[in-house]
Structure formats: C-alpha cells, structure tokens
Amino acid sequence: MNDQQREIPGILTGLVAMTKRDLLLAWKRPGDVLNPLFFFAMVCTLFPLAVGPSAEQLEFSGPGVLWVAALLATLLSLNSLFITDFEDGSLDQLLVSPQPLPVLVLGKTLAHWMTSGLPLVFVSPILAITYRMPLSVVGVMMLTLALGTISLSLLGSIGAALTVGLHRGTALLSLLILPLAMPIMILGANAVSLAAHNDIYTTGIWALGAYAIGSLSLAPYATAAALRISNE
C-alpha cells in the first residue's frame, strides 16, 4: 500500500492483455469464430446457384456479393462482442479497473477483428476465384476487405455497447450500425468493380483507409461512453 510500490500497469500492457484474453477465449470456443465465416462462405457459394452460373453474370456480381456477405457476416459476429462479459460480470470489473476504458475497448475490438474480419479476408480469395475474378483484382479486394472490416468492427462496437443491456438487441444493433456501415460497403464493392474494369480504383482505397483511421481514433471513446451508459 506504499505508493512507491503501487504501480498501475501501463496502457500498452492493458491493451495487449485484453487482446490476448479475448483471443484465448476465441481459441477455446472456436464455434463463435467459425459461425460468421461459414455464413460468409455459404452466401457466396449459394448466390451463383440462384442467379445462374454464366460467366459474365458472375464477373459482374462478384464484388457486390462478396462485400454484402462480408458486411452481414461481420454484423452477425458483433452481437457477442460484449454480451458474455456483461453476463458473467467481467464488464463491471473492466469498468472499475484503473486502465482507461477506451484502451480496453480497443483491445477487445482488435481481438474481434482478428477473429472475424481477418479470417474473412483470408478466405475471400478462394471464393473470389469461383466468381472468375482475376488475381490482380483479388489483391485489391483483400485490401478493401481488410480496411473495411477494421472500420466495421470498430463502428459495430459502438452499437454492441449500446445494446448490451437489452435482451435480443441484434435487430436494433443492425439498424444502428447499417447507416454507418453502408458507405464502407459501397466504397469497397465499387473499388473492386473498378479494378475489375481496369479503371482507377485507388480513390476508393484511400477513402476506406480514411474511414478506418477515423473510426480507429473515435470509436473506442464512443464505445466506452456507451458501455458506461448501458451498464448503469
């Protein structure tokens, strides 16, 4: 209790520990990680069966389908971001810890992205090839998906924090997030289509990057505030 001895661990320690804990939890419950991934793969494989397998049809709709599926898969996984912490009381423990809440939230969101967004990015080339996407465009698509899912995880964490105290807040969460998520999808899908037509696509990438940086710097604060409100 001597003040010289008592030292609160640094912010970075808290951030890393939070990310590590959530990654460990995801590792122990792989079902939660695989669910959105299966959803993503299923939508992308079912779509051609419904609209017909003609080559130009697939090339035309590929970027759009992949992006819509990625957006929905991410929304699906967002619901569980804070719910288990809320139920077992560890959210309360995070709220009374001396670590700044935005930092802990950022750690959690980072782990969420690594277990939901990043797997989508790595699975997407396989699905893109079935849509006859040329390899040069696949790279562009992976880049847009990577940037886009970062923004989606961060923006989604605000919605997840706001709806954490409500039972079955999934529908509300989607409604809250969709207006913010729509531009990401439009920019992403558009950039991929432009790349497929050998057009200038970098504007879209820059815009997505700006979106990601913007949400990276603002979303943790909004989420922390939302958590404090919904946990009252």
Partner 1 sequence: MTTERKTLTHKLSADNLTLIRGERCLFEGLSFALESGGLLILEGRNGCGKTSLMRAIAGMLSLETGEVHWDDVPVEKQRQTFHGSLVWLAHRTGLKGDLTLVENLGFERSLRAVSNREPEEIYERLGISRLKKLILRSLSAGQQRRVALARMLLADVPLWMMDEPFTNLDREGRALVMELVEEHLAVGGMCVMAAHQDVEINAPTTRVTIK
Task: Pick the closer one to partner 1 by CB: 82 or 201.
Answer: 82
Site string for partner 1, 129-168 (x = CB under 8 A): ----------------------------------------
Yes or no: say if 63 and 187 are a contact pair by the CB < 8 Å rule. no
Asked if 97 interacts with partner 1 (CB under 8 A), we say yes
Q: Which residues contact 11 (CB under 8 A, 6 or more apart)?
A: 99, 100, 103
Q: Which residues contact 145 (CB under 8 A, 6 or more apart)?
A: 66, 67, 70, 117, 120, 121, 124, 188
Residue whose tokens read 């993503």 = 40
Across 12-100, the runs of DSSP E, i.e. the strands, are none
Yes or no: say if 29 and 21 are a contact pair by the CB < 8 Å rule. no
Site for partner 1 in 7-26 (CB under 8 A): 7-9, 13-14, 16-18, 20-21, 24-25
Q: Taking the CA atoms of the chain, what radius of gyration do you get in angstroms?
A: 19
Asked if 29 interacts with partner 1 (CB under 8 A), we say yes
Q: How far is the CB of 7 from partner 1 (least distance, A)?
A: 6
Task: Pick the closer one to partner 1 by CB: 67 or 86.
Answer: 86
Q: How many residues bind partner 1 (CB under 8 A)?
A: 36
Task: Pick the closer one to partner 1 by CB: 54 or 90.
Answer: 90
Tell me the two tokens of residue 105: 């939230």
Task: Give the interface with partner 1 as residue ranges (CB under 8 A).
Answer: 1-3, 5-9, 13-14, 16-18, 20-21, 24-25, 28-29, 87-100, 228, 231-232
